[in-house]
Amino acid sequence: SFGRKIDEDLLDELEEVLISDDLGYETTMKLIEELRESYKNKEIETSEQIIPFLKEKIKNYWPQRDRELAKSDSGPTVVLVAGVNGSGKTTSIAKLGFNLSSAGHKVVVAACDTFRAAAVDQLSIWSERIGVEIIKHKQGADPAAVAYDACQAAIARDADYLIVDTAGRLHTQKHLMKELEKIKAVTSKKIPGSPHEVILVVDGTTGQNAIAQAKEFTGAIDVTGIFLAKLDGSARGGIVIAIKDKLDIPVKFVGLGEKPEDIAEFEPEEFVEALFS
């Protein structure tokens, strides 16, 4: 479409691309409106400038400082991990733990999903494979008690990181959201200033519901960043743009497979590139 003028047909095509990437209706319309405005103001003049214009715009949503994992000044850095059922929490914890321990940090993981069948076994297998210590109770135990013991162990072992796995829960389940608040309160009490990061794991194939997830989990436990899992498929995970736009929550990592090494720091340029590829 060399030299093609910016007309309604072209904007329709763009709308299809953005919506198909799960940016959502509102965010898509907002971007297209901004594009229209820039065209009117002669900031852009031909169709060739559209994609670079949008890339630049979207990329700037995520400044570098937003993407780094917080670190406590002293004592263990606590990373609390939460999300809806099956989004990829436990696997993402294995990846994160592997990443941190490979970088020479001492990592402890806490098996606070005492609800789902064999969730404790799943994290135990991962902890063995990646060579980090796990703190666990039996299935059915109180997750807050596991968190308490894990904090104590992390302090006693002089761990650099404590990563807390929690049971999957839908954000609409009030009592389960309360349980999460309780886990957070326990770590804050045992390790002042913690959790240093509260990571929401979002399945990269999720559509508009991820906005409600981000909103409700943030309301309960102040999410500090997103781990965008399962980006190795054909879904692009564009919903994180709407989440950034509406709730200002940054993305920290992406998951690209089922193995511990299938993790990458979130790279806005690559991410935006993929949206338009």
Partner 1 sequence: MFESLTDRFNSVFKSLSGRGRITESNISDAMREVRKALLEADVNYQVAKQFCKDVREAALGAEVVQSLKPGQVLIKIVQDELTKLMGPEGSDIYYVSPGPTVIMLAGLQGCGKTTTAAKLANYVRSEGKKPQMVAVDLQRPAAIEQLRTLGEQIDVPVYCEESKDSVKVAKNGLKDAKKNDADVVILDTAGRLHVDQELMDEVSNVAKATSPHQIYLVCDSMTGQDAVNSAKEFNERLELDGVILTKLDGDARGGAALSVKAVTGKPIKFAGVGEKIEDLQKFHPDRMAGRILGM
Ligand X SMILES: Nc1nc2c(ncn2[C@@H]2O[C@H](COP(=O)(O)OP(=O)(O)OP(=O)(O)O)[C@@H](O)[C@H]2O)c(=O)[nH]1
Which residues are at the interface with partner 1 (CB under 8 A)?
Answer: 16, 19-22, 24-25, 84-88, 115-119, 121-122, 124-126, 129, 139, 170-172, 203, 205-210, 212, 230, 232-236, 239, 258
Residues 6+ apart with CB under 8 A from 156: none
Query: Whose Cβ is closer to ligand X: residue 90's or residue 213's?
Result: 90
Residues 6+ apart with CB under 8 A from 143: 112, 113, 114, 115, 166, 167, 179, 182, 183
**Which of these ranges, 25-33, 112-120, 127-135, 154-162, lies near ligand X under the rule CB under 6 A?**
112-120
Query: Whose Cβ is closer to ligand X: residue 77's or residue 87's?
Result: 87
Q: Can you say whether the dihedral through the CA atoms of 265, 70, 81, 103 is positive or negative?
A: positive
* Separation of first and last alpha carbons in the chain: 15
Q: How many chain residues are in contact with K ion, going by CB under 5 A?
A: 2
Query: Whose Cβ is closer to K ion: residue 86's or residue 219's?
Result: 86
Q: Does 229 sit near ligand X (CB under 6 A)?
A: yes
Among 76, 88, 143, 268, binds ligand X (CB under 6 A): 88
Distance CA 258, CA 122 (A): 13
Phi and psi, residue 198, nearest 5°: -120, 110
**Which of these ranges, 13-21, 53-61, 241-249, 256-264, lies near ligand X under the rule CB under 6 A?**
256-264
Residues 6+ apart with CB under 8 A from 26: 242
Residues 152-191 that bind ligand X (CB under 6 A): 167-168, 170
Among 86, 131, 219, 233, binds K ion (CB under 5 A): 86
